[in-house]
Structure 1
């Protein structure tokens, strides 16, 4: 559910992803998503956009000694870290690949997941078509995405809070409203919709929120781009840091199933 930043070095980005995954919010939704995916011993499970391999060991534990976990990512630094972290898991394979053209055969996967990946892709519908191609009839796909268009941050200067959210949705995240689109995308790709859930991610502490929202760095980029008044932005940040804090956005998860009668 984290905001991307093209300015972070690879090591910083990996540390950032790890920190977000270890947060209370991260641990809870990842636990729930794995439960909904219903991974069983012997399954072949695909993690699209596996990043530094944060979730691969848990998936490996679920498939057991007879299953296989395949992590796919396009970033060399992430792939290197994922391979290092899963070196002790012989049932895990880490492959370089593109979510738009997955390096897998047709109908060779029992379960697949894409966790906060679609928000960054050039063509989410193509990525869903690829998941539909590689998942076997009866198999499940789990998706998890924030909806950044729902981000609200409380402050007396409502206009600056709105401008901050608008900058995120127009200039920071490629597909900022992807969360609300998950069911439609799954249906359009030919999946049966098993479930769609939404949860409000609520922050009452500035420091915790900033691990996800990166408010100072994003605000600075916004005023440098002319999307936020710098004086108002600096005052806004000072109030958020020193005063009572509240921010929230909506986080969506969806489960799709390939029809059992598929081809």
Structure 2
């Protein structure tokens, strides 16, 4: 089952195992690509086909998961002695939806503001980021906290947002040696991206601050505070404000 190029909305459709299809719209982190992914994701969730499970957005593609047994049962996939595979059925459905995709439709983005305590023990790499870019730490904080960031995807760890839109003035490569443990809430920079670690995990991003806001919410549906397509803003707070917010949330 080779990948197939669909010309109307430039993309390719290819199988991922026997229960998913990957629709690839581009090669880089671009808003135009994100828009197509988001429009198709919203359309599939508003008008799911029989057997649809979920769709997961990434930088350049949307992966659509389906139940092949439901497809066999609910779709008319038999044509004489020829049996059409669930992949072919779902690919045909997706092709029709892609042909009808209204690419001129304006996306509506939810804006989420996240408080951050920058520097010191909360951001051990802030000074390095400043030196790397020939800036002061205050300048790094100002640039980072006045930007607007688009959540292109959620992944790596539960609730981890990969945020595009970082100013090239503070872009900094990942650490050469990743840390074995990074605390939940750590705000980091990696290349032209910024993000927030929702749980304690190893990682190699340059840490510039920390937020008291919980991004991974296991008892909530969906369990991630942020979703692909959200606009994220960062708001500087003091050490005292950080500690008060932690106490308010009941975190020790």
TM interval, short-chain normalised: under 0.3
Higher relative contact order (CA 8 A, sep 6+): 1
Q: Which has the higher helix share?
A: 1
TM-score, normalised to structure 1's length?
0.25
Higher-Rg member (1/2): 2
